[in-house]
Chain A
Amino acid sequence: MTNIPETGRTPRVQIRLVVIQILVLSLLGTLGGRLWYLQIREGAQYQKEASGNHVQQVVDPAVRGDILDARGVPLADNETRLVVSASRTDLLKQPHDGKAVLTKLAGVLGMKPEEVMQKVRLCDAKTPQPCWNGSPYQPIPITDKATPRQALQIREASEDYPGISAEPEAVRSYPGPGSSNTAQVLGYLSPVTDAEIQQAKNSESPYLRSDMVGRSGLEREYDKELRGKAGVTRYEVDNLGRVIGKAKATPPESGSNLVTSIDSRVQRVAEYELDKAMKAARQQFDKNTGENFKADSGAVIVMEAKTGRIVAMASAPTYDPNVWVGGISAKDYKALTGKDSDYPLLNRAIQGQAAPGSTFKVVSTAAAVQAGYAWDGGYPCTSSYSVGGQVFKNFEGENFGPISLGRALEVSCDTVFYGLGDNEWKKDGGINPKKGQPKDWFFRTAHQFGLGKETGVDLPNEVTGRVPDRQWKLDYWKANKDVWCKYGKKDGSYVQKIYYENCLEGNKMREGDEINYSIGQGDTLVTPIQEAMIYGAVANGGTEYVPTIGKAVISPDGRTVQEIKPKVARKLPVSQATLNGMNDAFAGVITRGTAAWKFNGWPQNKIQLHGKTGTAEVYGKQTTGWLATYSKDYSVIMTISQAGTGSGAAGEAVRNIYSALYGVQGDGSVDTRKALLPEPQKTLPKVRPDGTIAAPKVTGDPGKDAEASQQNNPSNGTDQQPATSPSPTTGNRNTRRRPRRIPKRGRRRMPA
């Protein structure tokens, strides 16, 4: 085969050819080496880059679970809306990024073209809202309020609207059965933030870009259960983002349904009555401030006494939860959260706190018994109580002579509790007690009643209230003494004097502090939910339950029902005998005491009610009224800020709530057919085989129905009752008066 060369190549050429050969082959060797480096050594890295290149995921959101009331009536569910959305990848393929199509679409939807354009642009550091902060591969919703006509227009001429779709989609809605609202309890949703995605990245339930997250109320507390699991389809895409194949798909899993203990009808009645009571209060003249009551906020709770389950919880001012649906507008958001708003997002039943006033005497009475005072001892109910030159007056200066603790509770005799508190203060060592000497029965009992900390209700951001004990006084003094000592003046204004005194001995438990505390004034703060828990415990024989709203979590197929059982929080530190005494006293409040004028004609022999009124004083504001009540099965607490006394502001409303619960008619008769809930709902709503939950229809307005049944009520109607004015009448002695002289206490709301 080899040709023997005869001519042609000299050694020079031969050598050069060999050089060429070596050069050429070494070049190829270089290529091989580089290929090895890229594919074998760095291969994994490039594989990662390649998969990042070509896989995009599209999220199929899970249907969020419903929130149902105790009978299965949906309080929050999903409704089908026609959502018009735009696919960015399709728009980008069109000239000017689909400007023409979007403009035409804006015309159909009756929107401004700029508005539509803004909605489909991607959010970045420089782009303000509105913009899309989800995945660019996700269809971007332009409106979820398209009419069927608009949707049809788009779908029938789909070739004119490339990249635009009009599909029915499930969006959250709050149907508000029977005109109920339940806004703050339900809470709301908003899109997940980048920070949350990062945070939950490696957790068990990571967020997807498109997720809506519960921000408050039950939506937040039970977010994990309600949310379900979004389906994800991973698509392989080409260099232009066009889909070239489906890589992996997981179908969405619907969220579980939450059955609550709320009864939408009672809820409506509570809301209706709260609103009505506040409006009525605003018609009343407050002679202390010389203007009508402001009645700026309020809350009402109806709780099952024997389980802690909440049947109704309303907070005012309120708002329509549906403003959140489909994204809240900047204007609406400002109206809900801005400085000029009245903060309707706050759930004042768990986030509002005020001094409990005389409703606190349930704690003081228990404390006195614990400290060793006999129930039936004769405690002097004088018209005033003097300490070191200060006069603490009894309300309206009544004088009942020596009375028992029960009687003191019933008539709300402040001076009895002043005396007990003062006595304990002295026993505890006075202003400078020895270490370990103070027994602090009054403060200890408050803690034993669960005050000063969250009740643990299944709602987020509950506040603790406050027991102004020695530790708190010290902490508070440490935090504020610099300001107090700087601005305090012995002979200055009221505030300056207070500062001066606080600077000197604000770290110590002063005599006046404990005296004020004994009747629930001063720095004491409680929340309505704490009151509901405490009075519920008195009703049920001394057991405090953790208040709960969630009753059961039912899987979407209805197969697994996870019940949320009542949980005992603690036992009250009171004996059965003391409880019996308290019960009698509280019943007396209804029949002949401070609340009696609002319960004329109540069928007490059939449905026994107990109650305690209270009026909290807040420096610089009108008084906050409290009405804490309970029956055999329920405790009902209502409080209205800046509305006068507890009975005056809330008496009628609370009575109407009980009337609705038990079917009590205006003439005092009981019509069980009209009773909304004569006994707490024990069973869970029925789950049908297909997983849906049966629910009765709620028609009409239970609030107005209940009102109508009270036509003949002798206590109702401001025109019949001159006593609704906060000026005390013989029956309205629910409160004490501050000593006319300078009180020796720092106040929470003191301007700094």
Chain B
Amino acid sequence: MTGHSFSVSGYGPARAGWTRLFARDSLARRLDWPILLAALALSLLGSLLVFSATRNRTEINQGDPYYFLVRHLMNLGIGFALMIGTIWLGHRALRNAVPILYGLSVLLALVVLTPLGATINGQRNWIVIGGFSIQPAEFLKVAIILGMAMMLATRVDAGDKTYPDHRTVAQSLGLAAVPCMILLLMPDLGSVLAMVAIILGILLASGASNRWVFGLLTVGVIGCVAIWQLHILDQYQINRFAAFANPNLDPAGVGYNTNQARIAIGSGGLAGQGLFHGSQTTGQFVPEQQTDFVFTVAGEELGFLGAGLIIALVGLILWRACRIARDSTELYGTVVAAGIVAWFAFQSFENIGMTLGIMPVTGLPLPFVSYGGSSMFAVWVAVGLLQSIKVQRPMSA
């Protein structure tokens, strides 16, 4: 395994270790540093924004202004460790563990539906254990990417086929359908939509027949209509869409979030009002500002430059991830990377888009930036996967 070279052997002097680490063809040299640094920058920027959004919110920070900052950094640390672990193991090794990972995360998601799950904002998608809340939807995303990639790519990578056949595609979709159903039951519409985006990305990257791609799109549209017609949506979700369609509708009620979010971002101007100086933020006019609406802090306090930097960093990660997908020596890596691209892209677009008023409000976090352990762990595992695909040597090597 390539991971060995990353270990600090302890046999030579430190200098020799560094030399080896950065030696030609060494692991460190082959890591995708832009992604790593961009992800780190986003996470650290996120910690500042989370801090700004929560230091005055005494009703949730338990009187400790650093409560959320410390936790965010802790989550980042754990996430970073998870990334290293993922690189260490390598995505191929993880391939063998996919059934376990998949089973575990589906199980976790099912627990949410039991009385153990907690309902927050009308959504039953949390598990609260000992003060920590876990959002299984985030882990499901990783599990589905790995699971589908494994199913779709195995026979192609083995050289049996050029493209995954219909049966394989159907099986992989079945694999994805189960967690999607669970998410719908929660109901966590945002995650379902993110899931659909991921599945589409995976299908596209796997080379599955166009019919599947368009078929899936058709099913998605029909599903949306059905959801609407059958009144599966809760009232709050309908309201969110209504507020999206007309943001000035009831500014004190449904449209409040989007309205205040847009005021916060708009008032940032070019350079922002300065970190910790945003009046919308200190005045707590934007709800959920440390999680789903964290981008508004950037918009208000850091302005176009800061908020634009976040978009640029996301863009950099996605750009590099696309490169990794294209450059992977095997379809498995390509599909995994593409799934991650679809995930990050959809979630970033949806999250930032809703704060900017061009997407309806859903409860999706902004990768790396939003406060939340589950999301943080999941995205850093994803970074680990991307790095692992990047540093992999051809199987034959």
* Chain A residues with CB under 8 A of B282: 236, 238, 244-245
Q: Is the CB of A17 within 8 A of B334?
A: yes
* Chain A residues with CB under 8 A of B342: 20
B205 CB contact (under 8 Å) in A6, A17, A23: A17
Which residue of A has the minimal Cβ distance to B330?
A: A8
Contact flag A1-B205 (CB < 8 Å), given A42-B266, A51-B279: no
In the bound assembly, the distance between CA atoms of A4 and B396 in angstroms comes to 13
Q: Is the CB of B314 within 8 A of A50?
A: no
Q: Is the CB of B315 within 8 A of A35?
A: no
In the bound assembly, the distance between CA atoms of A244 and B284 in angstroms comes to 10
Q: Is the CB of A14 within 8 A of B326?
A: yes
B299 CB contact (under 8 Å) in A1, A8, A35, A42: A35
Residues B294-334 near A (CB distance < 8 A): 299-300, 303-304, 307-308, 311, 314-315, 318-319, 322, 325-334
A494 at interface by CB-CB < 8 Å: no
In the bound assembly, the distance between CA atoms of A6 and B159 in angstroms comes to 11
Contact with A along B236-266 (1 / 0, CB 8 A): 0000000000000000000000001011111
* Chain A residues with CB under 8 A of B330: 7-8
Residues A27-66 near B (CB distance < 8 A): 27-28, 30-32, 34-36, 38-40, 42-47, 49-51, 53-54
Contact with A along B202-245 (1 / 0, CB 8 A): 00111100000000000000000000000000000000000000
Contact with B along A5-30 (1 / 0, CB 8 A): 11111101110111111011101101
Q: Is the CB of B285 within 8 A of A6?
A: no
Stretch at the interface among B42-50, B181-189, B347-355, B377-385: B347-355
Q: Is the CB of A3 within 8 A of B283?
A: no
Q: Is the CB of A53 within 8 A of B356?
A: no
In the bound assembly, the distance between CA atoms of A8 and B329 in angstroms comes to 6
B358 at interface by CB-CB < 8 Å: yes
Instruction: Output the least CB separation between B117 and chain A (Å).
Output: 29
In the bound assembly, the distance between CA atoms of A21 and B266 in angstroms comes to 29
Contact flag A16-B205 (CB < 8 Å), given A8-B334, A24-B345: yes
Q: Is the CB of B156 within 8 A of A35?
A: no
Q: Is the interface of A mostly helix, strand, loop or mixed?
A: helix
In the bound assembly, the distance between CA atoms of A47 and B342 in angstroms comes to 35
Which residue of A has the minimal Cβ distance to B279?
A: A54
Residues A146-184 near B (CB distance < 8 A): none
* Chain A residues with CB under 8 A of B265: 35, 38-39, 46
B119 at interface by CB-CB < 8 Å: no
* Chain A residues with CB under 8 A of B319: 21, 25
Contact flag A7-B159 (CB < 8 Å), given A53-B279, A53-B285: yes
B373 at interface by CB-CB < 8 Å: no
Q: Is the CB of A27 within 8 A of B269?
A: no
* Chain B residues with CB under 8 A of A21: 318-319, 322, 326, 341
Point out which of B163, B207, B282, B299 has the most chain A C-beta atoms below 10 A from its C-beta.
Answer: B207
Contact flag A13-B308 (CB < 8 Å), given A49-B267, A53-B280, A54-B283: no
Q: Which residues of A line the B interface, CB within 8 A?
A: 1-10, 12-14, 16-21, 23-25, 27-28, 30-32, 34-36, 38-40, 42-47, 49-51, 53-54, 236-240, 244-245
Pick the 6 closest A-B CB pairs, nearest first. Answer: A46-B266, A50-B267, A21-B322, A238-B283, A8-B331, A43-B269
Q: A40-B270, A238-B282 are in contact. List 6 more A-B contacts (CB 8 A).
A: A7-B330, A16-B205, A20-B322, A31-B352, A49-B266, A53-B260
Provide 17 A-B residue pairs closer than 8 Å at the C-beta atoms, listed in order of the A residue: A3-B328, A6-B394, A7-B159, A8-B330, A13-B331, A17-B322, A17-B326, A21-B318, A25-B319, A28-B318, A35-B304, A38-B266, A38-B299, A40-B269, A46-B265, A236-B279, A238-B284
